[in-house]
Structure 1
Amino acid sequence: MPASSNVSAAGAEGAEQCIINDQMGPFIVLYILIFIAGLPGSLMSLWAFTCSPTDKQQSSRIYLVNLLAADLLLLFALPFKILSDLGGPWSLRVFHCQASAVTIYISLYASIAFLAFIITDRYMQDCQSLRSLRLHEVGFARLLSVVVWLLLLLIMVPNMALPTKQVQVQQYLKCASLKQDIGLHWHALAVFLCTALFLNASAAVLISSSLALKRLLRSRSDPKLWSDARRAAASVTAVAAAYVLSFVPYHVVRTPYTLAQTKVINDCSTVKQLFLAKEATLLLSVLHVCFDPLLFFCLCSPFRRTVRKMTSCCRRQVDGDEEQQEDTGQPTTSALQEAAV
């Protein structure tokens, strides 16, 4: 091993004695289940969006497609995290710290931003007085989506590009131990910038949900308005509740854990508790990838029609196979089931 590696390892020896990631077994199992459950739904969503008509494209569709892109990015990076937590090859664990972990956070904050846009856009669609605003235009939605991705790349990519230390191969690797001082400082800055993005998105979610509920209460005397307002409030509130449950717990833990990463908090037991809390709440945030296909189905009518068309085609194919079996004298699936009974 190079001399620089030994010097770096000796300098970090005291910090490396505090092992915080030696209890990853339950998280690994849950991440595998999330990956298995989320991948088919996201691939089906990709197919449905690709096949659904786009001649009457709406701003909500733009945000939903970008949310799907964030989900696919997360699913691409998740196997690297699973293999790293399983104790894979050293080079893979270093790659996870430098690239795939950063990709997970890019996906996470892109999902936060686009869910906030979806909630706000959903309220504006059902509010007659706001339909004329430019915020509801497709061109503006595309521009806003590009700005979000560029902003996240500007914040996060330096975490991949800044130089890292050479550390000694060890059983448990903390990603922070690879970072030089400038890398740790940028990491802390990126966390606080992303937290600011989360707070702004949360403010938009809170305002849209409050206005939807306020509109619902005002329309109690008119049955027609009450029906429309109830539908809008239900959709906005459901998505807002999922947003809060997925992302608020993680951000409650994220700031103190960042202080532990930058060695402001040094007590080993406290650092370990913060790490486990961060992993548990991060898993809760990642779980949204399993439920986003339901969101696509509920909020995008072209997507819904495409999925229904696909299921009806599959049903007709099964019926056709059974009819062909009857014509050729072969027992059908239903006949075999009856015989088994």
Structure 2
Amino acid sequence: MMTPSSNYSSAEAARCIVNDQMRPFTILYILIFIIGLPGSLLSVWTFIRSPRAKLHQSSSVYLLNLLAADLLLLLALPFKILKDVGTAPWSFMVFHCQASAVTVYISLYASIAFLAFIITDRYLQDCHTLRSLRLQEVGFARLLSVVVWLLLLLIMVPNMVLPIQEVQEHQYLSCSSLKKGISLHWHALTVFLNTALFLNASAAVFISSGLAVKRLLRSRKDPKLQMDARRALRSVAAVALAYILSFVPYHVVRTPYTLAQTKVITDCETKRQLFLGKESTLLLSVLHLCFDPLLFFYLSSPFRQTLRGMLPCSREPTGGESDEPAAQEMMQPTTREDDV
């Protein structure tokens, strides 16, 4: 009696299609790509134009690596969009499952790590102890960035090269259906390791945010210290909020969805709901692509100065211009942001 039931469950799982409702997600991914591409390219151009000396800071190192993760996501996102449409050639969909889908997750977890470093760095900027100064050295930031990229490649690249099984061609390809044996086990291990990375990054985010709040509470008796503490808390809280909204919902759904991928959960309706939950929260994670340029502007003074210098309306008059406009300007109150 057990064998027929098991065979029936396997056959039912094989016929279960979970990704036949991707049209709304595809439209949203296209919008994210259209909005995120100009912002990321402008960010690249602005950082290129920024003076090299001003970028030799630990925060700039982390921001540049976050930008690199965004560019990696921009390269992989069109492949995901075309695959989710369901009309791409079979070989293209298989390529997405083996390569570009893995690239999406490399970018995702690189963004998680570097956002956590940025939040920690923002807190350390107000702690003038010897230990905090060492943690903010450019060499240490570069070493930490290299370690993150190497670790992610070590975890994720085997998913690209491990053997996959042949499946019958059909319109809605589920990437997990290509995996078997060691490929499926490594995929589950990858999810576990990436979740561990997320939990460690989240611990750094919450500790830094908590210490920033604690510093604000301690400085209530000193107006000057309280002003500095409020400014530090605002910058930490802004990035921490973006981090939580982007990545926490996805990881709440990720573990049960992995159980469905590894066939621990076999009920088709449950698998469909978990897949839709995963795609919805993954969309939130990818959405950070649109807001990261604002983060660069808010957190990097070289970025702000260079971007303002590139805008005609914010350029200062040169010495060769007539003194009359300058004299007229001096007679009027100035409210430009550069003078604040």
Shared fold (TM-score, shorter chain, > 0.5): yes
Query: In 2, Cα distance between the equivalents of 1:78 and 1:209?
Result: 32
- How many residues matched? 306
Query: In 1, Cα distance between the equivalents of 2:292 and 2:130?
Result: 26
Equivalent residue, structure 2, for 1:226? 226
Provide structure 1 residue ranges, at least 5 long, that are not aligned to the other structure: 1-11, 317-341
Query: In 2, Cα distance between the equivalents of 1:251 and 1:217?
Result: 32
Equivalent residue, structure 1, for 2:333? none
Equivalent residue, structure 1, for 2:157? 157
CA contact (8 A) 2:13 2:267 kept: no
CA contact (8 A) 1:124 1:131 kept: no
Structure 2 CA distance for partners of 1:109 and 1:299, relative to 1, 3 Å: same
Kindly provide the CA deviation profile for residues 119-169 of structure 1, in whole angstroms up to 9, marking residues without a partner as x: 000100122236654211000000000000000000000000001111111
CA contact (8 A) 2:79 2:96 kept: yes
- Compute the displacement of 1:16 (Å): 2.6
CA contact (8 A) 2:167 2:178 kept: yes
CA contact (8 A) 1:61 1:300 kept: yes
The ranges of structure 1 where at least 4 consecutive aligned residues each deviate by more than 4 angstroms after the TM superposition are 313-316
Q: Does 1:181 align with 2:184?
A: no
CA contact (8 A) 1:125 1:131 kept: no
Query: In 1, Cα distance between the equivalents of 2:64 and 2:238?
Result: 19
Structure 2 CA distance for partners of 1:191 and 1:298, relative to 1, 3 Å: same
Q: Does 1:86 align with 2:85?
A: yes
What is the correspondence of 1:96-115 to structure 2 with a 5 Å cutoff?
96-115=96-115
Q: CA-atom RMSD, angstroms?
A: 1.6
Structure 2 CA distance for partners of 1:97 and 1:276, relative to 1, 3 Å: same
Kindly provide the CA deviation profile for residues 222-266 of structure 1, in whole angstroms up to 9, marking residues without a partner as x: 111111110000000110011001000000000000010000000
Query: In 1, Cα distance between the equivalents of 2:91 and 2:160?
Result: 15
Equivalent residue, structure 2, for 1:129? 129
Equivalent residue, structure 2, for 1:58? 57
- Compute the displacement of 1:197 (Å): 0.2
What is the correspondence of 1:1-341 to structure 2 with a 5 Å cutoff?
14-56=12-54, 57-87=56-86, 88-129=88-129, 132-312=132-312
Matched position secondary structure for 1:244: helix
Kindly provide the CA deviation profile for residues 195-235 of structure 1, in whole angstroms up to 9, marking residues without a partner as x: 00000000000000000011011111111111111000000
Query: Which residue identity does 2:67 align to in structure 1?
Result: L
TM-score by length of 1: 0.87
- Compute the displacement of 1:116 (Å): 0.2
Query: Which residue identity does 1:182 align to in structure 2?
Result: I
CA contact (8 A) 1:108 1:285 kept: yes
Equivalent residue, structure 2, for 1:320? none
Query: Which residue identity does 2:22 align to in structure 1?
Result: M
Structure 2 CA distance for partners of 1:132 and 1:277, relative to 1, 3 Å: closer
CA contact (8 A) 2:309 2:315 kept: no
Query: Which residue identity does 1:80 align to in structure 2?
Result: F
Query: In 2, Cα distance between the equivalents of 1:221 and 1:41?
Result: 42
- Compute the displacement of 1:54 (Å): 1.8
- Compute the displacement of 1:15 (Å): 2.9
Query: Which residue identity does 1:51 align to in structure 2?
Result: R
- Compute the displacement of 1:311 (Å): 1.1
Query: Which residue identity does 1:75 align to in structure 2?
Result: L
Kindly provide the CA deviation profile for residues 247-292 of structure 1, in whole angstroms up to 9, marking residues without a partner as x: 0000000000001000000000000000000000000000001000
Provide structure 2 residue ranges, at least 5 long, that are not aligned to the other structure: 1-9, 317-340
Query: In 2, Cα distance between the equivalents of 1:230 and 1:53?
Result: 29
Query: In 2, Cα distance between the equivalents of 1:314 and 1:182?
Result: 58
